[in-house]
Structure 1
Amino acid sequence: MISAARKRLGLTQAGFGRQVGYTQANISKLENARLGMPEDLLETFIKALKVTGAEAAEMRRLNASARTAGVWSGRRLVATPLWFRDILAAEHEAATVRSWTGERISGQLQCESYMLTLFQKAGRRDIDDAVYERGQRSRVFALHPDREYEFLLSESALLQLTRTRKISPFVVLDQVKHMLNLTTTHPGVAIRFVPFGELPHLPLDLTIFRFGNGAKDFAYGETPQGVQRSSADTFQTCYLDRWASLSGAALSPEESRELLAHAEREISDTRMPTTVAGFEQLP
């Protein structure tokens, strides 16, 4: 339907892409259902293509049906838990995403080789689907360069990555380079580390989504009992206040990039890391 509406206006994919800020390649992928269609992007397309009335309503209905059915980028989700599908949609629709992971590298920051290794070590049988579906999460950075994504990680998360003996040093290097590349090629992405000693204990992982009008804002946390989504009462006190405390303790984006750059140099030199600048030597 998008393709038909574009052609009615006499627009090529490249011409339409220039109007809405997308490359010709991405317009092609969207028209052929190889990329997911967030609600706000569909509205941008509807307006640009001058689609109204029943046709616009049908576009919205079909898009909502695909999302409800668990279809992501033209491929049905099979490896992603049902409860996480709303999170995938929020990652593509939110104006800002803020994530804290204390002891691990966030799924959105993982490179493909690192994902593959983790899934293999977990004994997953659906590795291809799992890697594909997790990989869709990082594509949001290129699709929406105007949005803000901020990731806070404990310094110990980087230490655990670089000191592991269970993962190939080449995979570790790939992951470190991937995070460095995100911070240099995507201006909206910030990765910051909270140094050792700044927190008396590591808070549970949390993610905050903020949308344009604020009405849909929500957060979720990961607890030993499972995932807990914010309520109106807990959004400020349990999530925004906690985030403010974590952010205040974190290194600047520039300092964090230098930490990653030092880790990259060290792994490249030794092929098996032993220490990272700013980290104490473990016994």
Structure 2
Amino acid sequence: MTQVPTLTFLRDQLRRARQARGLSQEELGKLVNYSSSQVSAVETGERPVRPDYVARVDAVLKTGGLFATMLELIRFHAAPDWFRPWEEIEREATSLRWYDPTVIPGLLQTEGYARAMLSMGGAMTIEEVEARVVARLARQAVLTGDQRPQFVAVLEEQALRRQVGDRAAMREQLAHLLEVGAEPNVQVRLVPAGSPWHIGLGGPFILARLASGAELGHLDNQLRGQTVDGPNDIATLGRRWETVAGEALPCRQSARLIEEVVTTWT
């Protein structure tokens, strides 16, 4: 069986490849448009290994895409088996509607927020957490690629006020919501804290529409996620989406509320 590379191995190989070409961190940084401190942070594990970084290193060092392939293997194997089919659906979707009453959706999470979430409970090793962070950040490319889906996220205001990581991580996360929410294909809407209980609070869900017109849903629980495509299930989730969307503020009002909440994390 082929051994799956780890992030530690990938960082070591990035460092070895740079040194084999006789390049300092500063010299490589200039070639890939990164600072020497950023190159150092990638190689030491202080900064995640991102797809754009390895793509630039592959191009500069003429590796034939070796590091990008290694990173894709790590990303693929970091995801739980049950989640991989949904990742494919995300990549193929023309529209995604995501409701989460408790946390920021994965496609909108910053590195710090994602790492803090995944580290909770101590169920995973540091290496496993880092691999999951890499995988989660890589998924976000669907929002910025050539075929961008229309993405609508409805969140509860309480999710922005519940601390995940330190206060700096929360400030960064909320600023990121404002930045991403300004993209033409993305809407971030908030259900105000003063809203009454509604049926959507029963749990998070995602609805995806494919180019074929097919609709699929994704549900999360404490153990694993579930992808559903039955007409009755999709119709039920559609009605629940209409409920949560009806409770949510419009985008501009939501942005103003996010700006208000950011000030509470200073």
TM over 0.5: yes
Give the TM-score, by structure 1 length: 0.64
- Give the match for residue 87 of structure 2: 88
Query: 2:95·2:209 contact (CA, 8 Å) conserved in 1?
Result: yes
How far has the Cα of 1:204 moved from its partner? 1.4
Residue of structure 1 in register with 2:152 after alignment: 150
Is residue 92–residue 140 contact of structure 1 (8 Å, CA) maintained in 2? yes
Match 1:230 to one of 228, 231, 246:
228
Q: 1:188 aligns with which of 185, 189, 193?
A: 185
1:113 Cα offset (Å): 1.1
- Return closer, same or farther for 1:244/1:175 CA change in 2, 3 Å cut-off: same
Unaligned ranges ≥5, structure 1: 1-22, 37-70, 272-283
Higher helix share: 2
Deviates more, 1:114-123 or 1:101-110: 114-123
> 1: distance between equivalents of 2:189 and 2:244?
10
Q: Is the 8 A contact 2:96 2:150 kept in 1?
A: yes
Match of 1:214 in 2: 213
Counterpart pick for 1:246 among 227, 238, 244: 244
Q: Distance in 2 between matches of 1:219 and 1:108?
A: 16
Q: Distance in 2 between matches of 1:237 and 1:173?
A: 37
Contact 1:34/1:75, CA 8 A, preserved across alignment: no
Alignment CA distance shift 1:214-1:132 (3 Å): same
* 1:178 maps to amino acid: H
- Does the 8 A contact of 2:100 with 2:203 survive in 1? yes
SS at match of 1:77: helix
Cα deviation code 1:64-86 (max 9, x no counterpart):
xxxxxxx9745452321001011
Contact 2:156/2:192 (<8 A) preserved: yes
1:175: how far off? Answer: 0.8
| Shift in alpha-carbon separation, 1:204–1:35, aligned structure 2, 3 A | farther
- Could you say what secondary structure the match of 1:219 adopts? strand
Structure 2: any 5+ residue segments left out of the alignment?
1-51
Task: Kindly report which structure 2 residues correspond to 1:76-225, keeping only aligned pairs within 5 A, or say none.
Answer: 77-123=76-122, 124-125=124-125, 126-144=128-146, 146-160=148-162, 164=163, 167-184=165-182, 186-196=183-193, 197-200=195-198, 202-215=201-214, 217-223=215-221
Report deviation, 1:230: 2.3
Match of 2:261 in 1: 263
Distance 1:225 1:130 in 2: 16
**For 1:167, what is the secondary structure of its paired residue?**
coil
1:240–1:174 Cα change, 3 Å: same
* Alignment RMSD: 2.9
Q: Which amino acid aligns with 1:32?
A: G
SS at match of 1:122: helix
* Number of residues of Structure 1 aligned to a counterpart in Structure 2: 204
Deviation string 1:128-153 (CA, Å, 9 cap, x unpaired) is 21110111121211114642011111
2:212 corresponds to which letter in structure 1?
A: N
Matched residue type, 2:177: M
TM-score for the superposition, normalised by structure 2: 0.67
CA 34–181 in structure 1, closer or farther in 2 if over 3 Å, else same: farther
Residues 34 and 74, structure 1, Cα contact 8 Å, conserved in 2: no
